Amino acid sequence: MRLTYLDLVPDVTAKKSCCKDRPRCKRCPVTLKRLADAGYAERESKREYAVDRSVPKKVLAAARAR
C-alpha cells in the first residue's frame, strides 16, 4: 500500500495565502475550503483542517483545479 500525503499528514495547516500555482497545492486555503465544503475535511480553527484519509482522487483534483 502506498501512503499518500493525506495519510501521512491528516491535520493540515493552510498557508496564509495562495501561491498561484497551477494546479493549486494541497495546503492552499482554497483547496482546503473546497474539501471542507465537499465533506472531506473539517475545519478545526481558522487555518487548521482535519482532512479525511479517504479523499477520492477525482475530488482532490477538482478541489485543486484553477
**How many beta carbons lie within 10 A of that of residue 41, not counting itself?**
22
Residue 33, CA atoms < 13 Å, CB-side half-sphere: 10
pLDDT for position 64 = 94
pLDDT tens digits for 17-63? 988 889 999 899 999 999 999 999 999 999 999 988 888 999 999 99
Comparing CA positions, the residue from 33, 26, 21 lying closest to residue 5 is 26
Range of the domain at 54: 5-64
Tally of structural domains, the chain: 1
The whole-angstrom distance between residue 19's C-alpha and the CA centroid of its chain comes to 14
d(CA 27, CA 16) in angstroms, rounded, equals 10
